[in-house]
Structure 1
Amino acid sequence: MTKPTPTRINLTTPIAVLALAAAAIYFVPIARSQTPTENAAAANSAAAPAEPVKSSTNATKAWQTLNGAIRQLVDTGPAFEAKLRQVTRVDGQEVRAVGRYIQASGLRGLMRMELQAAIGNQTSRFEQTCDGRLTWTREQVGEEVRIRRVDVGRLDEIGFTSGVSARFKVGGLPELLDSIAWDYDLHLVRGVLKETQNVWIIRGTLKQGRLQALLDETEQPAAPPEMPTKVRVALAADGPFRLIPVRMEFSSDPPSGATGPPRLISELDIYEIKAIDPPKEELFRYSTTEDDAHFTNETQIYLDRFQTRMATLPGFSGLRR
C-alpha cells in the first residue's frame, strides 16, 4: 500500500477521474474556498433556505433551492438508497463508474457512497462513509490508496445563525451541492428530464474569483480543459423525493480562442431511488485495517472552509468558546 501524502492536486490523476463529482472534490479544491463575493447579497439573504425572502432574484432562488435540497437530503426527506452511474472524460479517456448511495435523514448525519470503475487494466474504487462523527474517504486505483478523514463533530465549534449545520455537509451529495452553491453563479429554470420527470434545473458558471483561486492553487496560467467551469444540476420537482438530485453535469469551456459549446467532462446519474427504513448506524461505520493507519486528517481544512464562508453571513459570531 502506498502511504498517501498531501501533495498538490493534479487535475488529471486517475483517482480524480473516478471520484464522485470530481469537479467538487478535486477540480474545485476545498483548501482555498472562495467566499461568495459576486453574489454576496443573494447569499446573505438566502442563508436560511426555509425562510421567505421578500425580494428574490433568480440567483437567490437557485441558492435557496440548492440549500433546500441539502436540507431535504439530511433532514426532512425520507431515508433512501439509489444507484449511481458516472461517466467522466479526461485526457481522451472515457471512464464509466457504477455504484450505490445511501442517505439517512432526520439530522442523523449518516451517509454511504460507493463507486467502482475500470481504468485500463486496473480496478478503481471510491468509498465514502459518515457515521455522524467521522467521515472517511477511501480512493484506490490498483495498489495506490488515498485515505482522508474529517471529524465532523468538531464542525459544531462553528457558531451558525441558521440553515443546515456544516457537519452535515461533509461528503456525498450534500457536500457536492454545497460546493456548487458557493463556487458558482447560479440560475434556476424549470425543465423536464428525459420527458418523464419534472425537475428544477440549476445552471452555474464558476465565479471569476473562484476560477482565479483555482489557477493560483494549481499554478496554471489559464483554465485547463479538465476544469469544470459550467455545471447543470437536475433536482426532482415533485413526488416523494422532491429536491433529491437526479442528474449532474460538469462542463469545461472551449480552449482559449476557440468557439463552440462547453465540453461535457463528467455526468452523474442518481436513479432507481427508493425509500428505506431508517438504516442502522453500523451500515455507515468505516472498518479500518492496519494498512489504513496512514490517513490525512482534513478536519482543519473543513473548519477553515466553513469559518470563511459563514463569516460572510450576518450575525456570525465565529467559533464557539
Structure 2
Amino acid sequence: MKIDRHDRNSDNDIVKLCFTWRSLCLAVAFSLAVLSTNRGFSNENIVNDPKAVALVQQVIDRLANGDSFDCKVRQRVRAAGHEVPGVGTYLQVGGGTGQFSFQISMYDGDDEHRLQQMSDGRLAWTRSEIAGNVSLSRVDVGWLDEGARTLHRNERVKPSMRVGGPSEMLDNLVRDYDLKLGTSSLGGRPLLVVIGTLKQSRRDEITATLGGNPWPVLMPTRVNVAIAANDDPETGFGKGLPVRIEHLSDPVAVVTDSDKKSETQMKKRQMISLLEFYSIRPVKPPPIEQVRFEYQDIEVDFVNETSRYEDRFNIRVSAKERQRYR
C-alpha cells in the first residue's frame, strides 16, 4: 500500500477544486432548492451580514457539539443536460466527538457513483467511486486537534469537527462566500435561509488559475442553505439543522424565440445540485465501529491530505512536537 502526501507547493489546487466539485456534483454535491428569488449578477458587491455569518457558525457548532442524530438524504444533480438522482444517509454523532458518517449513491444510467465520508474523531476518510474508479484520501484529524492544543487554542469547535461532511461545506461557505440572511418556509415549517455569493476575491483567484479557460460549469457561484427555525412537530427535534442546500451557477445567457425573432437575454441562475435532509431524528450515540472506516481497497493508493488542513487551520508546530503525537 502506498501513501501519497499532499504537495503544499502544488499549483494545481484549481484542478483539485474542480475535481472536488465534480465529485460532489456526481456523487454528493450539497445543495438546496431555490428558496428565494434568484438575483442578477449586478448584485455581486455584497457585504457580509454578521447575522448570517453567526447563524452558519451556530449550525456548525450544533453539528459538532449538539445531540446525535441521523437522517436520510435525497439528491438531484443536473449535469450534461440531464438530471441524476441520488439517495443516502447521514449520521452526526456530535457531542464534541468529531464523529460522523455520510454516504450517498447516485445512478446515471447503468453507472453507479458513490461517495463515502467517515470520521471516528481520529482519522477522517473519503472514498469516492465514479464509474468503477475508486479514489481514497485521509486526514489525520486527531493530530489537527493535538496541534491546536499544542498552540494553546481553546476552540469550542475543534479542527476535527470542521473536516468532511456538511460541517466542512458550511465552513467553506463562510470562508469563500459573502452571506446574507433571509426567511422562507417549506410545508408550513419556517426556515432561515443563508444566501451565499462567491466572493469577488475568490472568483479572481480561481479565474487566474484557469489560464484563460472558461469558468467550470460545475463550479457554483451561489449557495443557498435552508435551516430549520423550529423543531419538527412530529419528533420535537431538528431546530438549527440544515434541511436543504443548493448550489447554483452564474446567470447564463439563453436564446429565446419571441415573435419569431431570436433574442438573447439573461436567465436566472441554474441549479447545479439539490440536496435534501429529511426524516431527521435523534439517536443514541452509536458505537465507534459505526463511524470507523473499514479499509478494504488494499490495491488503491490513498492520499494523506493532513498537510492541506494544517495550512487551512494555520497549525504550525515543530517536527519534534509532531513526532511526539505519533
Q: TM-score normalized by structure 1?
A: 0.78
Instruction: Find the residue that maps to 2:143 and give its secondary structure.
Output: helix
Counterpart contact for 1:17–1:95, Cα < 8 Å: no
Distance 1:69-1:220 versus aligned 2 partners, 3 A rule: farther
Distance in 2 (CA, whole Å) between partners of 1:14 and 1:182 is 20
Residue 174 of structure 2, aligned match among 171, 176, 181: 181
Deviation at 1:307, TM superposition (A): 1.5
2:105 aligned residue: 116
Counterpart position of 1:286: 293
1:64 correspondence with 2:57: no
Q: How does 1:207-286 map to 2 (within 5 A)?
A: 207-239=199-231, 240-255=237-252, 258-286=265-293
Confirm or deny: 8 A CA contact 2:101 2:118 kept in the other structure: yes
The alpha-carbon distance between structure 1 residues 59 and 161, as it changes in their structure 2 partners (threshold 3 A), is farther
Structure 2 residue matching 1:215: 3-state secondary structure? helix
**Contact 1:15 1:140 (8 Å CA) reproduced:** no
- Taking the aligned partners of 2:202 and 2:94, their CA distance within structure 1 comes to 31
- How many Å separate the matches in 1 of 2:178 and 2:240? 19
> What letter is aligned with 1:99?
G
Summarize the alignment of residues 1-321 of structure 1 with structure 2, pairs less than 5 Å apart.
8-9=15-16, 11=18, 15-21=23-29, 59-75=49-65, 77-156=66-145, 157-158=147-148, 159=151, 160=153, 162-194=155-187, 196-239=188-231, 240-255=237-252, 258-289=265-296, 291=298, 293-307=300-314, 319=317
The answer on whether the counterparts of 2:30 and 2:275 sit within 8 Å (CA) in structure 1 is no
How far is the alpha carbon of 1:260 from its aligned partner?
A: 1.9
The 1:65–1:10 alpha-carbon spacing in structure 2 relative to 1, beyond 3 Å, is: closer
CA distance in 2, matches of 1:238, 1:82: 17
Cα-to-partner distance string for 1:249-299 (whole Å, 9 max, x where unaligned):
110112368512111111100000011011111101111125255101111
CA distance in 2, matches of 1:258, 1:9: 33
**CA deviation vs aligned residue, 1:59-97 (integer Å, no higher than 9, x gap):** 11111100100111110x220010001111122131111
Cα-to-partner distance string for 1:142-179 (whole Å, 9 max, x where unaligned)? 32011110000121213436441221100111111111
State how far apart, in whole Å, the 2-side matches of 1:136 and 1:286 are.
7
- Provide structure 2 residue ranges, at least 5 long, that are not aligned to the other structure: 7-11, 32-44, 232-236, 254-263, 322-326
- From the superposition, tell whether residues 305 and 292 of structure 1 become closer, same or farther in structure 2 (CA, over 3 Å): farther
The alignment covers a number of residue pairs equal to: 277
Where is the strand percentage greater, Structure 1 or Structure 2?
2
Q: CA deviation at 1:141?
A: 1.8
Helix, strand or coil for the counterpart of 2:298? helix
Q: Distance in 1 between matches of 2:51 and 2:154?
A: 20
Identity of aligned residues (%): 34
Q: Offset of 1:17 from its aligned partner?
A: 2.6
**Shift in alpha-carbon separation, 1:145–1:275, aligned structure 2, 3 A:** same
Aligned partners of 2:252 and 2:267 also within 8 Å: no
Root mean square deviation of aligned Cα: 2.8
Contact persistence 1:9–1:218 (CA under 8 A): no
1:16 and 1:93 map into 2 onto residues whose CA distance is: 16
Any conservation in 2 of the 1:85–1:97 contact (CA below 8 Å)? yes
Q: Which deviates further from its counterpart, 154-163 or 6-15? A: 6-15
Q: Once the 2 structures are TM-superposed, how far is the Cα of residue 126 of structure 1 from its aligned partner?
A: 0.7
* SS of match in other structure, 1:66: helix
- Structure 1 residue 19, shift from structure 2 partner: 3.1
- Cα distance 1:213–1:287, how it changes in 2: closer, same or farther (>3 A)? same
* Higher deviation after alignment, 160-169 or 178-187: 160-169
CA change 1:299–1:91 in 2 (3 A) is: same
Given that residues 103 and 112 in structure 1 are in contact (C-alpha distance below 8 angstroms), is that contact kept between their aligned partners in structure 2? Answer: yes
CA shift, 1:209, in A, is 0.9
Please name the residue that 2:234 is paired with: none
**1:243 Cα deviation from its structure 2 partner:** 1.2
